[in-house]
């Protein structure tokens, strides 16, 4: 008997769950409304999805959740954080928290200090670690903050000082006092990495509650299994890691949806469109992972240097409002949203929506009462569908990197709107179980490892440097639980650095592989 | 004198990113620095040369190093005040104003932070009105004004003053010094009088940058007629709208070189190729050069009109390619030898903007 995995995805609207086997076949799935306390929804989804499944076969459970992201966006449940930067005398011209939104600053930022420390680009110290100043800072934080965020200039290349600073903080505040070190959180770019580390530390409480809720639900259902959370890049971290690094989960929703869609369709390179009630998001998967955006990512109004899936959204969904005019129609961008189930004409409501158009045009069936559409003219349907088709084509074209045709996988409640053929798209696929693509994406997620550092090609040669980076990423993936026989390199990005001597190049390599059993 | 407000600052950042012509360093860090300096020391005034003593000394200040290093080893302050004070004491004269050497990229803003801290105005002029990668690539070099004496400093208090024989030597010495000083340093060069700047500098650069940014901001906000107004103000032209279909990067001799190929949005038979050396230097359509350095090539996001820097170019981006004529002060003998295509190793003629083919 093959082992089974549970995938649960807590979205803004729905909590989905699936049980899948090792071949990726969906054994059971469920969809229910997200609850104010997400733990309730998780417990409910779990009990529904495992009813009728042999529990003894379940070996792993994966959770994708928007809870930490919402905590930041809504400024709820965030903890106060002391901010320690190891970089003086450099960096004094920009204090921690510069350019943060005021409300977030007041709710999160505790005492801050920039103390002597940090590294130069060549690995020498900017200054020796100013241990006495760290001790003073720790005392200033005592009783005032719930966690401390530590960042250090060039920590991605050398994190000894961050580790030492963590030890000093532990000596004074206790070994279980929560501390977040920047080299674990982000990549090159001190201010962005510091921001991310502070946000990370502010989420410790939220993360503990989510993870505890998840693990209690598992235990409560008699499931003694390994538990994981999905992170922004679509790979896994253990539940224990997630408590320390919750910020790495904030972008996991769209990633799970895209990876789930591709895996359900059993292809690794495709465009993916998720059509909901209000909007359509298009992304692209290359070798099974979403292409990432090159722009700086803001989380709750704070600039970070995370890599997030490159998505384009437009106001096109099942609830999008259609307004017939004289020989033309205007579509959206407003929508009745989730009220499409009461407001649209086919459901007895008074608003002409794209779901009505889709029904009359023959794309949607078995939803509502088509006879209520007698007042909608064929011309209106034709014009509205032409608009939809054009928008979808533009979206797909914008996402593609080359002119060659690619398959398009459509998921979500509004996927009926997608035409059967689109110029530039090889085929349109709406996979089975597409409505639980998010949870499926969580269930099939892999373990990963990453390296992001500056190499000097002149010293060792490019090939040797890249080999070293590949090796480090592979080892990191295996440490995270990847099967050593199946781990593979999933991306290599080289960014040559202008003016840096010795052909300096920033190299980012990711490796991933399925979990070892 | 005109006080620079925080609103102006946002416009200036956008203008500076555009004038960075793909390079010049991300002005984001410099903006944070200016904000903090204004919080701590008060606002900054922009002065035109006519408002200052013609014999007064003006000192430039800029960051020199590697943009990636600067993102990690963030500015401190003393490396900038340090270079200004060093030249002032070397010359035995106090400055009456600070000047940007390069209005384009992050060096547009660094002088504002220094001016705020030192309580001096910033003179409304510069020597490039775009970004260029080397110290000698200025209109001052064309006018025979030496970069020397020049000072370089770090945040720890290491300061040096150089006397150099040519501006090209100044570039080489400064570059060697910063490699020893952490690659995120302050530099001051081309010390000059207000009179010299009025005569040989590019006039009105700071106010031009703010206005350019304001016009582009209006485009980004989707204001009616804003694109045309922006192009008209910059005497610019939109040459191409397309999608990036190829991107090749390499590093040689300290330069981030590269080539980007863009396919036209509606006519797949048309392609544009752009050559990069830190900045966007040359644009060819179907092999024919149409925008050439020192005229400015700017790549804007097709959807939101945000200037895209060379580091963030990516496959599949939909972009507009804008050409803008360089500041008129550049057009004098010696320009092409100093900053034309051949100065960057390309054996093609300069194509003045407006004369396609």
**pLDDT, average across residues A467-472:** 95
- What sign results for the dihedral spanned by CA atoms A115, A116, A118, A120? positive
Residues of B in contact with A295 (CB under 8 A): 312
Q: How far apart are CA B30 and CA B137, in angstroms?
A: 22
Q: Pick the range with the lowest mean pLDDT from A333-342, B77-86, B104-113.
A: A333-342
CATH number, domain at A16?
3.30.420.40
Q: How far is CA A254 from CA A12, A18, A504, A515, in A?
A: 12, 17, 34, 22
| CA of B26 vs chain A CAs: smallest distance (Å) | 12
- Burial annotation A84-95 (CB, 10 A radius, 16+ → b, else e): bbbbbbbbbbbe
Give me the residue from A94, A284, A400 closest to B33, CB to CB.
A94
Q: What is the pLDDT of residue A2?
A: 81
Looking up tokens 């966690």 gives A147
Closest CA to A217 of A27, A457, A209: A209
Band of residue A326 on the pLDDT scale cut at 50, 70, 90: confident
Judge if A89 and A47 occupy the same domain.
no
Indicate whether A46 belongs to any domain: yes
CATH number, domain at B285?
2.40.390.10
Indicate whether A67 belongs to any domain: yes
Rounded to 5 degrees, what are φ and ψ at A56? -65, -25
CB-CB under 8 Å, B312 with A295: yes
Judge if A72 and A90 occupy the same domain.
no
Q: Which residue of A has its CA nearest to B306?
A: A295
Q: What is the pLDDT of residue B208?
A: 98
Rounded to 5 degrees, what are φ and ψ at A177? -70, 130
Q: What is the pLDDT of residue B7?
A: 84
Q: Pick the range with the lowest mean pLDDT from A59-73, A193-207, B6-20, B224-238.
A: A59-73
Judge if A347 and A413 occupy the same domain.
yes
Say yes or no to pLDDT of A98 above 80: yes
**Mean residue pLDDT across chain B:** 94
In a mutational test of the A interface, the residue from B9, B24, B68, B317 whose CB has the highest number of chain A CBs within 10 Å is B68
- Number of domains into which chain A is organized: 4
Q: How far is CA B288 from CA B249, B258, B276, B282, in A?
A: 22, 18, 16, 10
CATH number, domain at B81?
3.40.1610.10
**pLDDT, average across residues B180-192:** 96
- What sign results for the dihedral spanned by CA atoms B207, B208, B210, B211? positive
What's the token pair of residue A351? 């608003």
In a mutational test of the B interface, the residue from A87, A88, A94, A302 whose CB has the highest number of chain B CBs within 10 Å is A94
Looking up tokens 């959770």 gives A63
DSSP string across B34-47: HHHHHHHH--EEEE
Indicate whether A276 belongs to any domain: no
Residues making up chain A, counted from first to last: 517
Final residue of a structural domain among B205, B227, B261: B205
Indicate whether B221 belongs to any domain: no
Q: What is the pLDDT of residue B223?
A: 92
Give me the residue from A93, A457, A499 closest to B76, CB to CB.
A93
Q: Let me know: does B352 contact B225? Beta carbons within 8 Å.
A: no
Q: What is the pLDDT of residue B356?
A: 41
E runs forming strands in A373-434:
406-411, 425-429
Closest CA to B147 of B169, B132, B130, B126: B169
Q: How far apart are CA B104 and CA B345, in angstroms?
A: 22
How do strand A280-286 and strand A289-290 relate by DSSP bridges? antiparallel
Indicate whether A281 belongs to any domain: no
Q: What is the pLDDT of residue A405?
A: 86
Judge if B92 and B19 occupy the same domain.
yes
Say yes or no to pLDDT of B219 above 70: yes
Closest CA to B163 of B267, B224, B91, B64: B91
In a mutational test of the A interface, the residue from B22, B251, B256 whose CB has the highest number of chain A CBs within 10 Å is B251
Judge if A402 and A319 occupy the same domain.
yes
Q: How far apart are CA A424 and CA A290, in angstroms?
A: 20
Q: How far apart are CA A191 and CA A193, in angstroms?
A: 5
Between vectors from CA A399 to CA A395 and to CA A403, what angle results, nearest 5°? 105
Looking up tokens 């590294």 gives A119
What's the token pair of residue A234? 């679509």
Q: pTM, whole model, 2 decimals? A: 0.90
Spatial strand order in the sheet of A109-116: A109-116, A81-88, A147-152, A179-181
Mutual angle of helices B6-19 and B205-220, in 10-degree steps = 90
CB-CB under 8 Å, A494 with B74: no
Judge if A454 and A380 occupy the same domain.
no
- Burial annotation A163-173 (CB, 10 A radius, 16+ → b, else e): ebbbebbeeeb
Q: Let me know: does A126 contact A90? Beta carbons within 8 Å.
A: yes
**pLDDT, average across residues A489-493:** 85
Helix, strand, coil shares of chain B, percent, nearest 5, are: 35, 30, 35
CB-CB under 8 Å, A189 with B72: yes
> Which has the higher per-residue pLDDT, A263 or A187?
A263
Indicate whether B269 belongs to any domain: yes
Judge if B193 and B86 occupy the same domain.
yes
Residues making up chain B, counted from first to last: 357
Please indicate if any CB of chain A lies within 8 Å of the CB of B6: no
For chain B, positions 58-87, list CB contacts with chain A under 8 A.
65-69, 71-78
Q: Pick the range with the lowest mean pLDDT from A197-206, A292-301, A408-417, B84-93.
A: A292-301
For chain B, positions 155-184, list CB contacts with chain A under 8 A.
155-156, 175, 179, 182-184
Indicate whether B222 belongs to any domain: no
Judge if B65 and B165 occupy the same domain.
yes
**pLDDT, average across residues A327-338:** 84
| CA of B95 vs chain A CAs: smallest distance (Å) | 22
For chain B, positions 12-41, list CB contacts with chain A under 8 A.
23, 28-29, 32-33, 35-37
**pLDDT, average across residues A141-166:** 95
Q: What is the pLDDT of residue B354?
A: 58
Band of residue B84 on the pLDDT scale cut at 50, 70, 90: very high
| CA of B82 vs chain A CAs: smallest distance (Å) | 13
Judge if A119 and A96 occupy the same domain.
yes
Judge if A192 and A338 occupy the same domain.
no
- What sign results for the dihedral spanned by CA atoms A373, A379, A384, A390? positive
What's the token pair of residue A200? 């990370």
Final residue of a structural domain among B164, B186, B205: B205
Q: What is the pLDDT of residue B249?
A: 76
A-B Cβ pairs (cutoff 8 Å, strict) = 143
Looking up tokens 């509004």 gives A414
Question: Which range marks the domain in which residue B141 is found?
Answer: 2-205
Say yes or no to pLDDT of A503 above 80: no
Judge if A91 and A162 occupy the same domain.
yes
For chain B, positions 194-253, list CB contacts with chain A under 8 A.
243, 245, 249-251
Judge if A93 and A181 occupy the same domain.
yes
Say yes or no to pLDDT of A36 above 90: no
Judge if B290 and B155 occupy the same domain.
no
Band of residue A1 on the pLDDT scale cut at 50, 70, 90: low
Residue-wise pLDDT tens digits, A281-311:
899 988 888 887 766 778 888 999 877 788 8
Q: Let me know: does A361 contact A379? Beta carbons within 8 Å.
A: no
Rounded to 5 degrees, what are φ and ψ at A243? -65, -35
Residue-wise pLDDT tens digits, B96-147:
999 999 999 999 999 999 999 999 999 999 999 999 999 999 999 999 999 9
Residues of B in contact with A399 (CB under 8 A): 316
Residue-wise pLDDT tens digits, B190-215:
999 999 999 999 999 999 999 999 99
**Mean residue pLDDT across chain A:** 90
Judge if B182 and B261 occupy the same domain.
no
Q: How far apart are CA A367 and CA A381, in angstroms?
A: 17
Q: How far apart are CA A109 and CA A216, in angstroms?
A: 32
Running DSSP on this structure, what letter comes out for residue A416? G
Final residue of a structural domain among A216, A232, A250: A250
Residue-wise pLDDT tens digits, B148-173:
999 999 999 999 999 999 999 999 99
Q: Let me know: does A194 contact A156? Beta carbons within 8 Å.
A: no
Judge if B74 and B165 occupy the same domain.
yes
Band of residue B251 on the pLDDT scale cut at 50, 70, 90: low
Q: A60: part of which helix (H) or strand (E)?
A: strand A58-65
Q: Please list, in sequence order, all residues whose beta carbon lies within 8 angstroms of the beta carbon of residue B18, skipping any fewer than 6 positions away.
A: B212, B213, B216, B298, B307
SS3 A179: strand
**pLDDT, average across residues B301-307:** 89
- Number of domains into which chain B is organized: 2
Residues of A in contact with B315 (CB under 8 A): 401-402
Judge if A322 and A361 occupy the same domain.
yes
Judge if B241 and B334 occupy the same domain.
yes
Question: Which range marks the domain in which residue A457 is found?
Answer: 446-513
Residues of B in contact with A495 (CB under 8 A): 68, 249, 311
Judge if A345 and A387 occupy the same domain.
yes
Q: How far apart are CA A354 and CA A345, in angstroms?
A: 10
Say yes or no to pLDDT of B30 above 60: yes
Final residue of a structural domain among A437, A471, A496: A437
Judge if B201 and B270 occupy the same domain.
no
Q: Which residue of A has its CA nearest to B65?
A: A499
CA atoms within 13 A on the CB side of B245: 18
Looking up tokens 């260029």 gives B132
Indicate whether B223 belongs to any domain: no
Q: What is the pLDDT of residue B266?
A: 86
**pLDDT, average across residues B273-279:** 94
Judge if B187 and B303 occupy the same domain.
no
Q: B198: part of which helix (H) or strand (E)?
A: helix B194-200
| CA of B198 vs chain A CAs: smallest distance (Å) | 31
Rounded to 5 degrees, what are φ and ψ at B129? 50, 40
Indicate whether B257 belongs to any domain: yes
> Which has the higher per-residue pLDDT, B255 or B23?
B23
Indicate whether A271 belongs to any domain: no
Judge if A464 and A488 occupy the same domain.
yes
Q: Let me know: does A255 contact A466? Beta carbons within 8 Å.
A: no
Q: How far apart are CA B80 and CA B74, in angstroms?
A: 13
Give me the residue from A188, A501, A503 closest to B68, CB to CB.
A188
Q: A47: part of which helix (H) or strand (E)?
A: helix A38-50
Q: Pick the range with the lowest mean pLDDT from A10-19, B162-171, B228-237, B274-283.
A: A10-19
Q: How far is CA A62 from CA A16, A205, A218, A231, A439, in A?
A: 12, 20, 11, 11, 8
Give me the residue from B23, B73, B314 closest to A126, CB to CB.
B73
Give me the residue from A121, A153, A284 closest to B183, CB to CB.
A121
Say yes or no to pLDDT of A399 above 90: no
Please indicate if any CB of chain A lies within 8 Å of the CB of B5: no
Indicate whether A260 belongs to any domain: no
Say yes or no to pLDDT of B357 above 50: no
In a mutational test of the B interface, the residue from A195, A498, A505, A507 whose CB has the highest number of chain B CBs within 10 Å is A498
- What sign results for the dihedral spanned by CA atoms A313, A317, A321, A322? positive
Q: How far is CA B318 from CA A161, A292, B244, B273, in A?
A: 43, 16, 7, 14
Q: How far apart are CA A301 and CA A69, in angstroms?
A: 12
Judge if B139 and B259 occupy the same domain.
no
Indicate whether B350 belongs to any domain: no
Judge if B162 and B36 occupy the same domain.
yes
């Amino acid at each position: 008997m093959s082992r089974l995995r549970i995938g649960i995805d807590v979205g803004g609207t729905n909590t989905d769950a699936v049980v899948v086997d090792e071949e990726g076949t969906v054994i059971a799935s469920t969809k229910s409304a997200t609850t104010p306390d997400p733990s309730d929804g998780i417990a409910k989804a779990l009990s529904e999805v495992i009813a009728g499944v042999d529990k003894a076969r379940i070996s792993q459970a994966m959770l994708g959740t928007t809870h930490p992201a919402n905590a930041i966006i809504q400024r709820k449940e965030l903890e106060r954080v002391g901010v320690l930067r190891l970089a003086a005398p450099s960096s004094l011209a920009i204090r921690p928290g510069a350019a943060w939104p005021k409300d977030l600053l007041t709710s999160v930022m505790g005492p801050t200090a920039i103390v002597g420390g940090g590294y130069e680009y060549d690995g020498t110290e900017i200054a020796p670690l100013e241990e006495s100043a760290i001790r003073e800072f720790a005392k200033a934080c005592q009783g005032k903050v719930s966690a401390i965020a530590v960042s250090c200039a060039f920590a991605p290349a050398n994190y000894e000082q961050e580790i030492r600073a963590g030890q000093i903080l532990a000596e004074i505040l206790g070994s279980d006092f929560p501390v977040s070190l920047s080299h674990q959180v982000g990549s090159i770019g001190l201010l962005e990495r510091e921001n991310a580390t502070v946000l990370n530390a502010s989420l410790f409480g939220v993360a503990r509650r989510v993870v505890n809720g998840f693990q209690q639900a598992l235990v409560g259902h008699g499931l003694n299994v390994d538990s994981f959370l999905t992170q922004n890049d679509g790979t896994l971290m253990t539940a224990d890691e997630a408590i320390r690094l919750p910020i790495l989960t904030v972008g996991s929703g769209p990633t799970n949806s895209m990876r789930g869609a591709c895996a359900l369709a059993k292809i690794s390179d495709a465009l993916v469109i998720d059509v909901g009630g209000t909007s359509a998001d298009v992304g692209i998967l290359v070798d099974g992972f979403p292409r990432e955006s090159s722009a700086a990512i803001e989380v709750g109004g704070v600039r970070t240097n995370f890599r997030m899936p490159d998505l384009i959204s437009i106001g096109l969904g099942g609830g999008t409002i259609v307004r017939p005019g004289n020989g033309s129609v205007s579509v959206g961008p407003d929508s009745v949203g989730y009220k499409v189930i009461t407001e649209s004409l086919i459901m007895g409501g008074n608003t002409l929506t794209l779901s009505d158009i889709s029904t009359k045009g023959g794309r949607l069936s078995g939803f509502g009462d088509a006879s209520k559409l007698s007042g909608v003219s064929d011309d209106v349907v034709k014009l509205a569908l032409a608009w939809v088709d054009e928008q979808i084509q533009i979206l797909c074209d914008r996402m593609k990197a080359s002119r060659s045709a690619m398959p398009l996988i459509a998921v979500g409640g509004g996927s009926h709107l997608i035409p059967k053929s689109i110029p530039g798209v090889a085929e349109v696929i709406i996979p089975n179980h597409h409505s639980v693509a998010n949870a499926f994406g969580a269930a099939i997620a892999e373990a990963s490892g990453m390296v992001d550092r500056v190499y000097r090609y002149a010293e060792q040669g490019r090939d040797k440097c890249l080999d070293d980076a590949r090796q480090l990423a592979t080892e990191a993936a295996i440490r995270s639980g990847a099967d050593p026989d199946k781990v593979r390199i999933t991306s290599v990005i080289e960014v040559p650095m202008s003016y840096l001597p010795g052909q300096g190049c920033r190299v980012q390599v990711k490796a991933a592989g399925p979990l070892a059993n | 004198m005109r006080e620079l407000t925080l609103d102006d600052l946002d416009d200036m950042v956008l203008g500076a990113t555009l004038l960075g012509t793909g390079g010049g360093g991300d002005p984001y860090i410099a903006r944070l620095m200016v904000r903090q300096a204004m919080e701590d020391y008060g606002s900054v005034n922009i002065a035109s040369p006519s408002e200052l003593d013609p014999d007064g000394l003006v000192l430039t200040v800029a960051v020199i190093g590697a943009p990636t290093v600067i993102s990690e080893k963030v500015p401190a302050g003393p490396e900038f005040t340090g270079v200004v004070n060093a030249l002032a004491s070397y010359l035995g004269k106090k400055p009456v104003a600070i000047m940007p050497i390069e209005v384009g990229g992050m060096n547009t803003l660094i002088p504002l932070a220094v001016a705020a801290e030192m309580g001096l105005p910033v003179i409304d002029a510069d020597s490039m009105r775009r970004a260029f990668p080397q110290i000698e690539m200025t209109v001052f070099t064309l006018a025979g004004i030496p970069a020397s004496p020049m000072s370089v400093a770090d945040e720890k208090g290491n300061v040096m003053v150089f006397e150099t024989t040519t501006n090209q030597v100044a570039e080489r010495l400064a570059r060697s010094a910063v490699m020893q000083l952490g690659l995120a340093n302050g530099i001051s060069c081309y010390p000059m009088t207000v009179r010299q700047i009025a005569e040989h500098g590019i006039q009105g650069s700071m106010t031009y940058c703010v206005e350019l940014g304001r016009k582009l901001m209006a485009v980004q906000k989707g204001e009616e007629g804003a694109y045309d107004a922006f192009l008209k103000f910059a005497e610019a032209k939109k040459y191409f709208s397309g999608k990036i279909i190829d991107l090749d990067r390499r590093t040689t001799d300290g330069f981030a070189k590269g080539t980007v190929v863009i396919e036209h949005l509606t006519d797949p038979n048309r392609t544009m190729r752009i050559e990069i050396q830190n900045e966007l230097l040359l644009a060819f359509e179907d092999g024919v050069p149409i925008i050439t350095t020192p005229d400015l090539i700017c790549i804007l996001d097709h959807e939101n009109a945000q200037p895209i820097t060379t580091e963030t170019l990516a496959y599949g981006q939909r972009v507009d390619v804008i050409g803008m004529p360089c500041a008129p002060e550049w057009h004098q003998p010696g320009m092409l030898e100093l900053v034309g295509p051949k100065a960057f190793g390309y054996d093609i003629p300069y194509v003045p903007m407006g004369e396609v083919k």
